[in-house]
Amino acid sequence: MYLDSGVSTAVKILVVGHFGVGKTTFIGSISEIEPLRTEEEITEASIGFDDLSGTPDKTTTTVAMDFGRLTLSDEIVLYLFGTPGQERFKEMWEELSRGALGALVLVDPERLSESFPVLDLVERFGLTYAIGVNHFDGTPVYPLSEVREALNLPANTPVVSCDVRDQRSSAQALITLVNHLLSLTD
């Protein structure tokens, strides 16, 4: 699916988060093209490196990036880059963050402590961000104000609930980030 010749603005957005939070699923739910995925089977080699306790049914993992595209208007297209969530792949973040306008940070409310290294990297690379609190089946729903407090977020950082499996919910999280980015240019 090719871009319309009238598209004049391309915006790079990162979709980041800890291991198993739903980055690949998010991009798959919202991309207008078949996403590029670099998923590999989780093998015994990951023992001691990847904590599967929060995602016991996970069988694959992103080893480079996910890529998707979303056309917002006749002139603007978003390029979505999903980063790997494991600590061992953080060197890729520097390359992926170059030229990015902002990041959607996905968090699992049951594993918030795993989000701190991700937030550190996002801030280290100077990316403006919004938080998407991904709700999985059967997980409790916490007030967003409690998630904000637990993550020690600045007051102006948007926090939104989402279900990355649902296109509309994923779109709302992305809209929240884009609106936040636009508010900073006024």
In a domain, 3, yes or no: no
pLDDT(48) > 60: no
Q: 104 is written with which tokens? A: 């959607």
What's the CA gap between 33 and 143, in Å, rounded? Answer: 34
Q: What is the pTM of this model?
A: 0.83
Work out the percent of the chain whose per-residue pLDDT is above 70: 78
* Average predicted confidence (pLDDT) for the chain: 83
CATH number for the domain including 75? 3.40.50.300
What's the CA gap between 167 and 171, in Å, rounded? Answer: 6
Which residues sit opposite 36 in a β-bridge? 67
In a domain, 153, yes or no: yes
| 3 state SS of 73 | coil
Residue 85 burial by Cβ neighbours in a 10 Å radius (0-12, 13-18, 19+)? buried
What's the CA gap between 85 and 23, in Å, rounded? Answer: 8
What's the number of domains the chain is made of?
Answer: 1
Characterize the bridge pairing of strands 60-71 and 36-41: antiparallel
In a domain, 46, yes or no: yes
pLDDT(67) > 70: yes
118: closest CA among 11, 15, 13, 12?
Answer: 15
Which residue in the block uniquely carries the two structure tokens 């997980």? 139
Q: What is the pLDDT of residues 6-34, one digit of tens each?
A: 677 888 999 999 888 899 999 999 999 88
In a domain, 2, yes or no: no
- Neighbouring CB atoms inside 10 A of 168's CB total 11
C-alpha atoms less than 13 angstroms from C-alpha of 18 in its C-beta half-sphere:
20
Q: What is the mean pLDDT of residues 167-171?
A: 94
Which residue in the block uniquely carries the two structure tokens 């729903």? 141
- Using pLDDT thresholds of 50, 70 and 90, give the confidence band for residue 94: confident
Q: Which helix (H) or strand (E) holds 96?
A: helix 91-97
- Using pLDDT thresholds of 50, 70 and 90, give the confidence band for residue 64: low
Which residues sit opposite 35 in a β-bridge? none
Q: What is the mean pLDDT of residues 76-104?
A: 82
Which residues sit opposite 110 in a β-bridge? none
Q: What residue numbers bound the domain in which 118 lies?
A: 9-183
In a domain, 118, yes or no: yes
Buried b (16+ CB within 10 A) or exposed e, 91-128: ebbeebbeebbbbbbbbbbebbebbeebbebbeebebb
